[in-house]
Structure 1
Amino acid sequence: MKLLLKEDVDGLGNCGDEVEVKDGYGRNFLIPKGKALLATPDNLKAFNHQKRMVQGKVAKIIAAARAVADEIAKATCLVKKKVGDSGKMFGSVTAQEIADLLKGQGVDIDRRKIQLSEPIKKAGEYKIPVKLHSEVIAEISLVVEAEKEEPAPVAEQEVAQEVNAEGKTEE
């Protein structure tokens, strides 16, 4: 089935591309979701006319995405996570946390644009891609530092043991 994409579809093509897909994928997903049209001569003609009208808007969108990419390139995110004695991190750094850190630096992006293959579970420096547009991909510099969990001071432990011992004798 030949379709004309109305928007960018990951792994398939960009807006305006004419693509060949399996019938079920086109009929059951792309067309009902409004992501594609059948590639008939009438639809091609109408889409090309609309595409000429929209090209100026697309250039503005790409320029805005590049401006955000420049801001992201300047920003460095620092995350401190607690680690245990064995060096294992409690929790992980997720795309949502990175988006919140960037928001704190004045860069507001959707967490789904941050392309983490899996949450970060080790301390270190990372370069994380952010897909702002099909033509604009920025990189975030992320530093994850290990924060050792401090054991309770010995004096506090002794006081806690004494309180527990006194409480048991009164019962």
Structure 2
Amino acid sequence: MKVLLLENVQGLGKKGEIVEVKDGYGQNFLIAKGKAQHATNEVINKYKAQVRKQQEIEALEIAELHQMKNVLEQLMLVLHKKVGANDTLFGSITKEEIAAEIEKQTKMKIDKKHLEIPVAIKHLGQFQVLIKLGHGIHTTLNVEVKAQG
């Protein structure tokens, strides 16, 4: 019996492969557990269409992320904070503040989990923040901290 694997099966094959298995194993284990489907032309064509659609969606996401990357690279984010002696901030600049300011200035939502602040921002000056957008696309955001008032 030929089956189309819907997930990786150790010792048999990877997701999307069509493999030949014994009838009992295919029917009673693979198909019964939802790990495979009987490999008819209809099932194979439906799977290929589903894979194509997923690839198109992924290509659109990547194009969108590249566009966001270009906008973020051009952006100079300016944050105004209260300062004490020696131009030291009260507290530090957080990922939440940076994400909120990005959304305020560009209308783009960036999850704070995607931001990496290499050195804690505790004084006035210019800093760089790494943003991991997804699909292996990274960019650097310039942040400038100025005294409030």
Q: TM-score range by the shorter chain?
A: 0.5 to 0.7
Paired residues of 2:129 and 2:142 also in contact (CA < 8 A): yes
Structure 1 residue matching 2:116: 3-state secondary structure: coil
Deviations 1:17-51 (A, max 9, x none): xxxxxxxxxxxxxxxxxxx95655344335x9665
Is 1:45 the counterpart of 2:9 in the alignment?
Answer: no
Residue 125 of structure 1, CA deviation: 0.8
Bigger shift: 114-123 or 135-144?
114-123
Paired residues of 1:71 and 1:107 also in contact (CA < 8 A): no
Paired residues of 1:95 and 1:119 also in contact (CA < 8 A): no
1-side partners of 2:122 and 2:57: how far apart?
40
Distance 1:40 1:54, change over 3 A: farther
2-side partners of 1:77 and 1:39: how far apart?
49
Q: 2:113 matched to which residue of 1?
A: 112
2-side partners of 1:115 and 1:38: how far apart?
37
User: Which one has a bigger Cα radius of gyration?
Assistant: 1
Paired residues of 1:62 and 1:135 also in contact (CA < 8 A): no
Normalised to the residue count of structure 2, the TM-score between the two structures is: 0.62
Distance 1:59 1:39, change over 3 A: farther
2-side partners of 1:37 and 1:146: how far apart?
56
Normalised to the residue count of structure 1, the TM-score between the two structures is: 0.55
One-letter identity of the residue aligned with 1:69: K
Paired residues of 2:87 and 2:124 also in contact (CA < 8 A): no
Q: 1:128 matched to which residue of 2?
A: 129
Paired residues of 2:117 and 2:128 also in contact (CA < 8 A): no
| Count of aligned pairs between the two proteins | 112
Deviations 1:48-98 (A, max 9, x none): 966555222211110011111122123221112222124321011111101
2-side partners of 1:73 and 1:90: how far apart?
28
Distance 1:57 1:125, change over 3 A: same
Structure 2 residue matching 1:45: 3-state secondary structure: coil
2-side partners of 1:114 and 1:64: how far apart?
18
Distance 1:120 1:38, change over 3 A: farther
1-side partners of 2:71 and 2:115: how far apart?
15
Q: 2:60 matched to which residue of 1?
A: 60
Return 5+ residue gaps in structure 1 as ranges.
1-35, 149-171
Is 1:74 the counterpart of 2:74 in the alignment?
Answer: yes
Distance 1:38 1:109, change over 3 A: farther
Structure 2 residue matching 1:144: 3-state secondary structure: strand
Report % sequence identity: 24
One-letter identity of the residue aligned with 1:67: Q
One-letter identity of the residue aligned with 2:122: K
Residue 114 of structure 1, CA deviation: 1.1
Runs of at least 4 residues off by over 6 Å? none
